Chain A
Amino acid sequence: MALQDVCKWQAPDTREASPHLPQAGGWAVPQGWDPQTFLQIHGPRLAHGTTTLAFRFRHGVIAAADTRSSCGDYVACPASRKVIPVHRHLLGTTSGTSADCVTWYRVLRRELRLRELREGQLPSVAGAARLLSVMMSRYRGLDLCVATALCGWDRSGPALFYVYSDGTCLQGDIFSVGSGSPYAYGVLDGGYRYDMSTQEAYALARRAVAHATHRDAYSGGSVDLFHVRERPGPEQEREEEATPDRA
């Protein structure tokens, strides 16, 4: 329209990511270097190391995580929150770089809320996972490190997706992410059944995180346990001083 052209205003495309996000490929590196190598050698050292897990079963999806935020050799925060509510019916476990995880989850929350208002119904877990993976895949090669498991209950029942910052988006029954995940997988694979009772599921999740924190140096603190049920509003509890069971 004529007025639009005079004011040089462009209507925002409501389905694209916010224009306030940094542009893809926004790192300025010296001539001759490719961004990835440069970041590996000279980039900031970011916080890593965690144990998070999520599994789906008949009565919903369980998400559990440790609470230690490590930064190199020291513990930056012994009581950090690694399981983040994304929507009324959606939860995400975060692993990788805490800063990246928190930022991307805020962006995801904004997009999902807009989608809900536009469509008049809660977005599906598959749609949310696809949205997150597409948003992050624009920044591939720039050292983004976000490895999350999106848990939720939508029209198709309990759903669990693993999303990685290179664009991977996988559906599954059990996921464990982080430096402590091999230890957690061992316990989970041994005790998982789709038809578990809720109490059995809680006990399994706690045991898996506790065993991982026992052996992995970068995991520790307490265990955060979340349960996504059919009606909106996941439950949570935090336990002090996780100790592994002697079984």
Chain B
Amino acid sequence: YDRAITVFSPDGHLFQVEYAQEAVQKGSTVVGIRGTDIVVLGVEKKSVAKLQDERTVRKICALDDHVCMAFAGLTADARVVISRARVECQSHKLTVEDPVTVEYITRFIATLKQKYTQSNGRRPFGISALIAGFDDDGIPRLYQTDPSGTYHAWKANAIGRSAKTVQEFLEKNYTEDAIANDSEAIKLAIRALLEVVQSGGKNIELAIIRRNQPLKMFSAKEIELQVNETGKEKEEAEKKKSKKTA
């Protein structure tokens, strides 16, 4: 194990890291939206085989009471990263007597990913993660990490398959009005996902995290409700448009 796998190419690329980013783009879409009092994480559910219990496939996980993450890419790699992050959240509480800040745990995950791009016999993690939560000061935060180990804060972002389409949608539609209250932010997440998800609400998984409240996963019924409402609003908006033009 004394041979490095991730080495520089003559023109300065780390190809293994770039290939890992390709692996991320094969994963199902994840969208994250930071509102004023809420952070919404939406995920495209991959269709499961008939005999598979679909509850065992979870792309959104809590790391601690006040911070959660969703990932796109290799599920097995994500399991390892999530496990390490959960342990770190508790170790931090033990040594520093305070829960982690969202930035701290993001930095930890990013540092972990970077270590694997610079170690013997190891390949980079093939996941990008969206990490969401609230700090002590009550401000909502959303961060994104990628296989190279960089991390940035975002107001809204998407990763995985068709992320570009969703990102363009968000750039056009993420306005002050769109995140004016919690339900508007949730609807924006659904609309963003519906741009790229086939066959509507059955293939969406949604979770929210609010100040001083743990992660809340939406049940299938709740998601259906939200999707129907969003659909109605869309129809009404189109009717108004056609009235104007007619």
A residues sitting closer than 8 Å to B (CB atoms) are 1-2, 5, 15, 115, 119, 123-124, 126-127, 130-131, 134, 155
Q: Is the CB of A15 within 8 A of B98?
A: no
Bound CA span A124–B118, Å: 34
A119-B104, A155-B136 known; A5 and B96 CB under 8 Å?
no
- Chain B minimum-CB-distance residue to A161: B97
Listed residue (A1, A124, A131) with the most chain B CB atoms within 10 angstroms of its CB: A1
Docked Cα-Cα span, A15 to B111, in Å, equals 14
Could you tell me which B residues sit within 8 Å of A by CB distance? 2-4, 95-98, 101, 104, 118-120, 136
Highest count of chain A CB atoms <10 Å: which of B4, B98, B104, B120 = B98
User: Which residue of chain A has its CB nearest to the CB of B91?
Assistant: A15
Given known contacts A119-B104, A155-B136, A1 and B98 CB-to-CB distance under 8 angstroms: no
Contact across chains for A126 and B2 when beta carbons are under 8 A apart? no
Q: Which residue of A lies closest to B119 (CB)?
A: A1
- Contact of A123 with B4 at beta-carbon distance under 8 Å, contacts A1-B118, A1-B120, A2-B120 already known: no
Assess the B2–A2 pair: CB atoms within 8 A.
yes
A119: nearest chain-B partner, CB-CB: B104
> Given B4, B97, B104, B136, which contacts A1 in the complex, CB threshold below 8 Å?
B4
| Bound-state Cα–Cα, A1 to B3, Å | 8
Within the assembled complex, what's the spacing in Å between the Cα atoms of A52 and B241?
Answer: 77
Contact, CB under 8 Å: A124 / B97: yes
Q: Which residue of chain A has the shortest Cβ distance to B136 in the bound complex?
A: A155
Of the candidates A1, A15, A119, A155, the one whose C-beta lies within 8 Å of that of B95 is A15
Q: Is the CB of A123 within 8 A of B119?
A: no
Residue ID in chain A nearest B4 by CB atoms? A1
Other A-B pairs beyond A5-B2, A126-B98, A127-B95, 19, CB < 8 Å: A1-B2, A1-B4, A1-B119, A2-B2, A2-B4, A2-B120, A15-B95, A119-B101, A119-B104, A123-B96, A124-B96, A124-B97, A124-B98, A127-B96, A127-B98, A130-B97, A131-B95, A131-B96, A134-B95
Q: Which residues of A contact B95 (CB under 8 A)?
A: 15, 127, 130-131, 134
List 9 A-B pairs, minimum CB-CB distance, nearest first.
Answer: A126-B97, A127-B96, A2-B2, A127-B97, A130-B97, A1-B120, A124-B98, A127-B98, A124-B97
Q: Which residue of B lies closest to A4 (CB)?
A: B120
